[in-house]
A and B are shown apart, each in its own frame.
Chain A
């Protein structure tokens, strides 16, 4: 954010193009994955793309509006549970009403939580969103509705076009892969357009200086509430896709560990950039796979949280602007170093 102010006009134009090329390349690479990777890779990348949608939803709140929500997993989990609970037994439902219904439910909960928690600020907001997520967690954990700790299984997958294209089934990993690829791309484009709109500018204004925006005559509460609801809806979509992919949900999807994990994804990627959420979701999932890998760590792999925890601490400490901020961070450091070198000889004649 500070770096942005310091940039001159030219480099902003350059980096705009750079961002677009980078993002386009990422999506093209993702589209090519099923043609080069095996079934394990396809499955892993499918999961990561769902996490990327989830991370994008949080990026809208944290990175673009400056609202640190620590209960995002609740909306993900509600989307996931709704998918399995709304699915009629025996006859698979059509995706075209199931997914929107799940999004609507998650957005509705987000609207309620947002209406209350947006009355608070700062640390309160962090804790209150966390507490509301815990509330949702206990609802699915303790009531018969959610099947308790065991969760719910479902064999059926929703249908796409049963009469038009009967062969196109979500049971096929490739069809699922490209459906989720499309959803990720749609979310990305939607948010990119939204952030460029008047609404997005208002959100940016809230992030930079809410007081000033209010003084300028904007009522900020409706903007924040709209962003919160939209974010909840997108998280719900990610959760619904996750449930469709796995056919299984359990309360861990709503746990605060998951809320923390998605926060780490966007921090790792770099706040304030949509592509940061994309990069962060991949980096986090690959880190997790790395520390879990028994081939590298042997018996120690079951303690993978230890390596992950230390990595998180180091990443936050050493890369305050995340992975996408690294080039700028290096450039700045090099500039400072060369400036320092220039400053020293300049001083010598004077002394």
Chain B
């Protein structure tokens, strides 16, 4: 492997890892704060990708088109979806056992997939790369790298940074941190006069919006196909398990690690690429049963 190829694989690993981080961060936040294990989180990624495909025509008719206005409209819809879902469905899951949460959100996946199939069908679709970003840069003498992939990494990094700032520098972040250390903390936070229901709704809507955004941004690269949410969901579980449940820092580290292992695994050991990530998870669990960034 020469240096240019190595660099390209590094960039790919970074892009995949950051994308995983976006989806996994919502999963781990929702679990850490509300104690809900949400299998349907991968569906939000799928919904995002399908939005990027299906919203293109109506948005073009209404606002004159453009990938970025699609992103904006999709984000608004995602926040609405998250808010309504929390109010209508997830708020009933907080007091239930994990097993019941697993099953009810599993039922939700089936509903999402079928509604998607009813609305847009079961075909595989491509989403064009926005013309503004549709060119490549040269790496070395013969290799090129698409700018759009760099754009994905940039968006993910910006979001990660934004999340970090919200967590550490704002009042909302303080409330989230206060609420996320354990279920008994819930009453504590509430007794301090914080509207925990509103906090939950905001966090859930934000988690959905981030996953939807990840799906929309990834759509031009990964194409749009049925069941795409499920494969992402399982890898995100691995991210959350390796990183430590509820830990954003852990999710970032684990997502990047998986990005590297998966990308280089596909190049160096193509037969075992699908299994490598899980083998790594097994090894890390042997060493640290509670993930990398979780004490106790």
Please report A residues at the B interface, Cβ cutoff 8 Å: 62, 68, 70, 116-117, 119-120, 122-124, 126-128, 130-132, 134-135, 138-139, 141-143, 256, 260, 263-264, 267, 271, 303, 305-306, 308-313, 316-317, 320
Q: Complex: how many Å from CA A221 to CA B278?
A: 23
Binary CB contact string for chain B from 283 to 296 against chain A (1 if under 8 A, 0 otherwise):
00110011100000
Query: Are A123 and B110 neighbours in the complex by a CB distance under 8 Å?
Result: no
Residues of B within 8 A of A313 (CB): 104, 107-108, 111
Known: A62-B99, A138-B275. A306 touches B115 (CB 8 A): yes
Smallest CB-CB separation from B234: which chain A residue? A134
Q: Complex: how many Å from CA A68 to CA B100?
A: 11
> From residue B288, how far is it (CB to closest CB) to chain A in Å?
10
> From residue B147, how far is it (CB to closest CB) to chain A in Å?
32
Additional 6 contacts, C-beta under 8 A, given A123-B98, A316-B107, A320-B100: A123-B37, A124-B245, A139-B274, A260-B106, A263-B106, A306-B114
Query: Are B285 and A309 neighbours in the complex by a CB distance under 8 Å?
Result: no
> From residue A198, how far is it (CB to closest CB) to chain B in Å?
27
Query: Are B278 and A126 neighbours in the complex by a CB distance under 8 Å?
Result: no
Smallest CB-CB separation from B278: which chain A residue? A135
> From residue A111, how far is it (CB to closest CB) to chain B in Å?
14
Query: Are B286 and A134 neighbours in the complex by a CB distance under 8 Å?
Result: no
| 23 A-B contact pairs sorted by A residue (CB < 8 Å) | A62-B99, A116-B286, A117-B285, A119-B285, A119-B289, A123-B37, A124-B289, A126-B102, A128-B281, A130-B234, A131-B234, A131-B237, A131-B281, A138-B278, A142-B273, A256-B234, A267-B99, A306-B110, A306-B118, A308-B110, A316-B104, A317-B92, A317-B104
B240 on interface, CB distance cutoff 8 Å: yes
Query: Are A312 and B103 neighbours in the complex by a CB distance under 8 Å?
Result: yes
Query: Are B114 and A132 neighbours in the complex by a CB distance under 8 Å?
Result: no
Q: Complex: how many Å from CA A291 to CA B269?
A: 43
Query: Which 4 A-B residue pairs are closest in the complex by CB-CB distance?
Result: A309-B110, A138-B274, A312-B107, A135-B278
> From residue B265, how far is it (CB to closest CB) to chain A in Å?
11
> From residue B24, how far is it (CB to closest CB) to chain A in Å?
11
The one of A135, A139, A263, A317 in contact with B99, judged by C-beta atoms closer than 8 angstroms, is A263
Most chain B CB neighbours (cut-off 10 Å) among A62, A143, A260 = A260
Q: Complex: how many Å from CA A117 to CA B99?
A: 17
B188 on interface, CB distance cutoff 8 Å: no
Residues of A within 8 A of B282 (CB): 116, 132
Which residues of B101-123 are within 8 A (CB) of A? 102-104, 106-111, 113-115, 117-118
Residues of A within 8 A of B1 (CB): none
B192 on interface, CB distance cutoff 8 Å: no
Residues of B within 8 A of A142 (CB): 271, 273-275
Smallest CB-CB separation from B113: which chain A residue? A305
Which residues of B217-266 are within 8 A (CB) of A? 230, 234, 237-238, 240-241, 245
B61 on interface, CB distance cutoff 8 Å: no
Which residues of B145-181 are within 8 A (CB) of A? none
Smallest CB-CB separation from A135: which chain B residue? B278
B137 on interface, CB distance cutoff 8 Å: no
| Interface residues on chain B, size class | 35 or more
Q: Complex: how many Å from CA A126 to CA B101?
A: 12
Query: Are B234 and A135 neighbours in the complex by a CB distance under 8 Å?
Result: no
Dominant SS among interface residues on chain B: helix
Residues of A within 8 A of B108 (CB): 309, 313
The one of B106, B111, B274 in contact with A264, judged by C-beta atoms closer than 8 angstroms, is B106
Residues of B within 8 A of A119 (CB): 285-286, 289
Q: Complex: how many Å from CA A185 to CA B228?
A: 40
Known: A131-B238, A135-B278, A320-B100. A120 touches B289 (CB 8 A): yes
Query: Are B290 and A124 neighbours in the complex by a CB distance under 8 Å?
Result: yes
Query: Are A263 and B234 neighbours in the complex by a CB distance under 8 Å?
Result: no
Query: Are A309 and B111 neighbours in the complex by a CB distance under 8 Å?
Result: yes
Q: Complex: how many Å from CA A139 to CA B115?
A: 31
B124 on interface, CB distance cutoff 8 Å: no
Q: Complex: how many Å from CA A264 to CA B105?
A: 12
> From residue A109, how far is it (CB to closest CB) to chain B in Å?
13
Smallest CB-CB separation from B240: which chain A residue? A127
B31 on interface, CB distance cutoff 8 Å: yes
Q: Complex: how many Å from CA A101 to CA B180?
A: 48
Query: Are B238 and A123 neighbours in the complex by a CB distance under 8 Å?
Result: no
Residues of B within 8 A of A311 (CB): 107
Q: Complex: how many Å from CA A116 to CA B285?
A: 7
Known: A123-B98, A124-B289. A312 touches B106 (CB 8 A): yes
Q: Complex: how many Å from CA A134 to CA B114?
A: 23
Residues of A within 8 A of B62 (CB): none
Query: Are B285 and A128 neighbours in the complex by a CB distance under 8 Å?
Result: yes
Q: Complex: how many Å from CA A124 to CA B246?
A: 12
B279 on interface, CB distance cutoff 8 Å: yes
Query: Are A120 and B285 neighbours in the complex by a CB distance under 8 Å?
Result: yes
Residues of B within 8 A of A267 (CB): 99-100, 103
Q: Complex: how many Å from CA A124 to CA B240?
A: 9
Q: Complex: how many Å from CA A122 to CA B245?
A: 11
> From residue A255, how far is it (CB to closest CB) to chain B in Å?
9
Residues of A within 8 A of B100 (CB): 267, 316, 320
> From residue A110, how far is it (CB to closest CB) to chain B in Å?
14
Smallest CB-CB separation from B31: which chain A residue? A123
Residues of A within 8 A of B104 (CB): 312-313, 316-317
Known: A131-B281, A309-B110. A303 touches B99 (CB 8 A): no
Residues of B within 8 A of A264 (CB): 103, 106
Residues of B within 8 A of A124 (CB): 241, 245, 289-291
Most chain B CB neighbours (cut-off 10 Å) among A122, A132, A313 = A313
The one of A138, A139, A263, A309 in contact with B102, judged by C-beta atoms closer than 8 angstroms, is A263
Residues of B within 8 A of A70 (CB): 102
Known: A309-B111, A312-B104, A312-B110. A130 touches B237 (CB 8 A): yes
